[in-house]
Structure 1
Amino acid sequence: MKYFKLIIALTLFVFVACSEFEHGPTDSSSGNPAKVENVVITPINGGLEITYDLPKDKNVLYVKAVYMNSKGVESEVKTSVFNNKIQILGFKDVAEVSVKLYSVNRAETNSEAVVVSGTPLISPVDMIQQNFEITTDFGGAKFKWNNALKTPIAIQLFAPNEKGKLELVNTQYTEQIASSFSLRGYPSVPTKFAAVIRDRYDNFSDTIYAGTADKMLVPLHEERLDKTIFKKVVLQNDDNWDAWEGDYWGLFDDKNGTIVHTQGNIPRPSILTVDLGVVVNLSRINVLQRADGLGLGFAYTHGNPKKYAVYGSKELPGPDGNLANWIKLRDCESIKPSGLPIGQKTDEDVAHFWAGDEYTFENAPEIRYFRFVVYDTWDGAGYISFSELTFWGNIVK
């Protein structure tokens, strides 16, 4: 009984003690803390970097900066006493900004304000706009930009609807240094395309158009090749792409769930050959990696091709498949936008995975026979597996 009463007493003590700590400031000290000193303002792109000396006051918990953001709304940024630097970001205009700095103690009491000001450098949005290009591409337009600061941005892409009015058709989210994207499926007639850049602070660029006098571009003609007329070709140095659960025709059935797969027991390169059924000047190809049952488990790994080359020929050179007798169309390398290690993926990586690796050809020769030559995989696997291969070009009538 004695022990039971002791347990009840201890429980009540802990409950009351916790209740006291859960309410009110963590420190009951009164008075204002000392101010920060020796403040230095350094302009940065789209903001200010502020450094200072912290007050010698053990009760100071953090420093906060209070300012009006680019939308005219009062905002604040906080940083702990383990840092003597604070950044204010998100300004679109190159105009003076006034900032109030406070040190704040454990009782959430502000110091007297230290008022400073500075003028941000050109915003990242305006920097990107200065080097943004919209140029003619196969079946549409190519949008290309440089993001030297790796600022998280959204690129809004516009094209005409059936009434000829510009409408938002795609948004690309990225923070890569150099990026590009193409809008496809437009006829070879004068067409106006446009773009707008937005950052996470809802700052927008001006509307960007092609650099032509009338802001118009004429998309280059191309058409998607009909995979139903393709024919299988097996040359003496070709790999077996029907190994394991793979099937040669899984590469040309427009189904992400079917794949090709090699045995993995012959030296690289591993080669696949196909008769396209028509003579064509290729404009581009798209390569889709293999997805697993849940979608992303095999992304950028599991035998997906990393480095490869593509070859072509108008006539079949011979049964031995010697690459010296074929025309090398280009080298290719699959990319992962973030550059993160295997197993780690950003939203941009996922979007790229589902869109596929696309490669274009400039002044491609007339070919009918095509060879896909793999030198390395994402994870170094001895086998190769991937999902789909699609072609576009100008068919020679």
Structure 2
Amino acid sequence: MLWASCKKSESPVEVVSDDTTKPGIVTDVKVENLNGSAKITYKLPNSKNLLYILARYNINDNRVRESKTSYYKDTILVDGFARAQEYEVTLYAVSRANVMSDPVTVKVEPKTPNYILINEGLDIKPDFGGANFFGFNINKAPISVHMITFNSATNAYEEQEPEYISGDTVDVSVRGFDATEHKFGVYTTDRFGNASEIRYVTLTPLFETLLDKSKFSVYHLASDATIGFGWDTRFFFDGNLGDPGWHTVSSPTKQCTFSLGVNAKISRFVLWNRLPDMYGFQNPRKITIWGTDKDNPQDSTLPINSAPGTVAGDWFNMGNFVYPNPPSGLPANQANAADIAFAAAGVNFKMPSAAPPTKFIRFECTQTWGGLDYINAKEISLYGSPL
């Protein structure tokens, strides 16, 4: 046992190479400047033990970053730069024995970083109970949008939970405020720790209220789904979460139409699926809300899976929505008590800020949880501002 414990251990890591020859340098270096980054191309050295190319550079006042690319490529991306200015990048060829070549220094001048472009381009407007921040992320850069609000009680700004964006559009809101003047701010950060300047605004949030369901009425159109089991459309907005609700039979469409009784800018809607199978069977999973400002809108075939803003006759696509998966992360058919409680409280869906006011709603289910050609739902509530 003593001999075994003193035996020299053998490392499982193999030496990559015993050739300690210093590799040659990269040559014929060219730079293409991009937003917050630069693409550097070069000719590789004629070194048989070459493993990768290393770029070392400062991205802001206190952080050094390194990028690597294999010897199979003649291009390396250097990114994370905080500002649009000149930076020095040092390139090394590195051998399989981890021997570095002599340095080659190149200057890059990245364009304005995406996180700054996005923040500067945000359109800040009053939203229901708060402020909306809308803009475009044309390069689909991963960023975080940080919204701050002024607390008059503490005389300080407080930061809300950041929103993480990687798509081509920024459309985020902060809510919970009354319709009086309030101070808001916003800044953006990227994944490298860079942060933009804060933009401050003072505005009055839009008034939001639960639309009066006593003014709602069924507006049946020929292409609406056929009612089943006596669960008429009127039960979809009767304020009763018990039976009956809205239920159809097998039909080419899974939709219903009703009047709001007012012309209103919709901020959000709350949907109650049928318990306890809210994540299964004929319960709606994918939804499109159509609206119109016509007094007597005509029937029209609604395209499936259309984009928001699509017009079909008198109707416009106000937004597409997906009923969320069980919050627990369990498969839909294994939802636990907490998942059921989440659905029982009603699920909120934020209406896109670009959606225009409407007098009527066409609720279209484009996919049920079970992939069925009929649908049921218990109740819907709509919030917004009557005009």
The letter of the residue matching 1:273 is F
The correspondence for 2:202, drawn from 212, 216, 226, is 216
1:143-194 CA-to-partner distances (Å, cap 9, x unmatched) read 1111111110111112233525431124211112122123333222222221
For residue 356 of structure 1, what is the aligned residue in structure 2? 349
For residue 25 of structure 1, what is the aligned residue in structure 2? 15
For the 8 Å contact 2:147–2:160, the answer to whether it is kept is yes
Structural mapping, 1:1-397, within 5 Å: 19=10, 22-23=12-13, 25-163=15-153, 165-209=156-200, 215-225=201-211, 233=218, 235=220, 237=222, 239=225, 262-268=247-253, 270-273=255-258, 280-287=262-269, 303-310=284-291, 323=299, 330-334=316-320, 356-359=349-352, 364=357, 370-374=360-364, 376-377=366-367, 382-384=373-375, 389-394=380-385
Q: Do the aligned partners of residues 57 and 305 (structure 1) sit closer, same or farther apart at CA in structure 2, a change above 3 Å counting?
A: same
For the 8 Å contact 1:306–1:376, the answer to whether it is kept is yes
For the 8 Å contact 1:329–1:361, the answer to whether it is kept is no
Counterparts of 1:76 and 1:361, CA distance in 2: 42
The letter of the residue matching 1:119 is E
Tell me, what secondary structure is at the counterpart of 1:304?
strand
The letter of the residue matching 2:67 is V
Counterparts of 1:73 and 1:295, CA distance in 2: 52
Normalised TM-score (structure 1): 0.69
Structure 1 residue 264 displacement after superposition: 4.8
- Greater shift, 91-100 or 244-253, is seen at 244-253
Structure 1 residue 37 displacement after superposition: 1.6
For the 8 Å contact 1:188–1:220, the answer to whether it is kept is yes
Question: How many residues in Structure 1 have an aligned counterpart in Structure 2?
Answer: 342
The CA RMSD over aligned residues, in Å, is: 4.4
Q: Do the aligned partners of residues 362 and 90 (structure 1) sit closer, same or farther apart at CA in structure 2, a change above 3 Å counting?
A: closer
The letter of the residue matching 2:266 is R
For the 8 Å contact 1:242–1:248, the answer to whether it is kept is no
- Structure 2's unaligned 5+ residue stretches are 1-7, 301-312, 323-346
1:201-221 CA-to-partner distances (Å, cap 9, x unmatched) read 111111113xxxxx4212232
The letter of the residue matching 2:41 is T
Query: Over alpha carbons, which structure has the higher Rg?
Result: 1
1:332-386 CA-to-partner distances (Å, cap 9, x unmatched) read 34067xxxxxxxxxxxxxxxxx752515688847x6xx54242844898533456
For the 8 Å contact 1:304–1:386, the answer to whether it is kept is no
The letter of the residue matching 1:179 is V
Normalised TM-score (structure 2): 0.71
Counterparts of 1:39 and 1:295, CA distance in 2: 62
Tell me, what secondary structure is at the counterpart of 1:334?
strand
For the 8 Å contact 2:150–2:157, the answer to whether it is kept is yes
Identity of aligned pairs, percent?
23
Counterparts of 2:206 and 2:156, CA distance in 1: 21
Structure 1 residue 88 displacement after superposition: 1.1
